[in-house]
Amino acid sequence: MNVAAEALSRSQIRMIVKEFRKTVGCDKIAYFPIMQFIEWILANPKYGMDYEIVDPGEMQDTYGTTNTERNVMRIRSDVYEGAVKGRPRDRFTLCHELGHYILHQPQFMSYARGNIPRYCQPEWQANTFAGELMAPYDLVYDMSIEEIMEKCGMSRQAATIQYNEYHR
Ligand SMILES: [Zn+2]
C-alpha cells in the first residue's frame, strides 16, 4: 500500500502558495525566509508544530521528515545548519518539508494500491510546493535562471525547473 494525497495540480499548488505567502506577509519578498518561518512561526505553540534537529547517524540518507499526525518536523542537523547559512539545497529541503506540513495533514491522505498518479503523489506535491514557494511567478517571471538562483536562494536545478514552468 502507498500513501496518496488529495489530487493537486501545479496551478492549484501555486494558488495555495500565493495565499500562504500573503498570509505570512511575504508576498513581495523574493528570498523566502524559510528558517525564520520554521523557528519563529511554525514552532510557536499557537501552531502546535515542533521541530527536532536530528543527528545524521540517526537520519542516514534522509534530509528531513514531517509527521503530520504528531506535527513534528525532523531535520537532519547538517541540513539545518546549511539552511541557516543559506545553502540552496538545504533551503529547498525545508521548503519541501513545509509543503508536507501544509498539504498533507491526515484528513487529505489515504492509502492506495498500485500506481499513484503524479498529482496525488505526496513527494511530487511537496517538491512543487517548494519550487513555487521559493520562486513565485509574480516575483520571478522576468528573471533569468541566474537571477532566480541569486535572488531566491535556489540551486540551479530548482531555479531551472521554475524558469521552464514560467517560459513554456
Ligand atoms: Zn518529502
CA distance 128 to 122: 10
76 Cα to the center of ligand 1, angstroms? 13
99 Cα to the center of ligand 1, angstroms? 8
Helix-helix angle 145-152:156-166, to 10 degrees: 120
Has residue 31 been placed in a domain? Answer: yes
More confident residue, 42 or 103: 103
Has residue 141 been placed in a domain? Answer: no
* 122 neighbors 3 (Cβ within 8 angstroms): yes
Has residue 166 been placed in a domain? Answer: no
Choose the weakest-confidence range: 38-52, 84-98, 129-143: 38-52
- The domain that holds 37 is classified in CATH as 1.10.10
120 Cα to the center of ligand 1, angstroms? 13
137 Cα to the center of ligand 1, angstroms? 23
Q: Cα 27–126–94 angle (5° rounding)?
A: 70
CA distance 52 to 77: 9
Q: What confidence tens digit (pLDDT) does each residue in 117-134 have?
A: 999 999 999 999 999 999
CA distance 64 to 66: 7
Domain that holds residue 79: 2-135
* 118 neighbors 126 (Cβ within 8 angstroms): no
Looking at every residue in the chain, the average pLDDT score rounds to 94
Q: How many other β-carbons are positioned within 10 Å of the β-carbon of residue 42?
A: 20
State mean pLDDT over 52-81: 94
Q: What confidence tens digit (pLDDT) does each residue in 6-18 have?
A: 999 999 999 999 9
Has residue 6 been placed in a domain? Answer: yes
What pLDDT does 168 receive?
85
Has residue 167 been placed in a domain? Answer: no
DSSP 120: G
Number of domains in the chain: 1
What pLDDT does 46 receive?
81
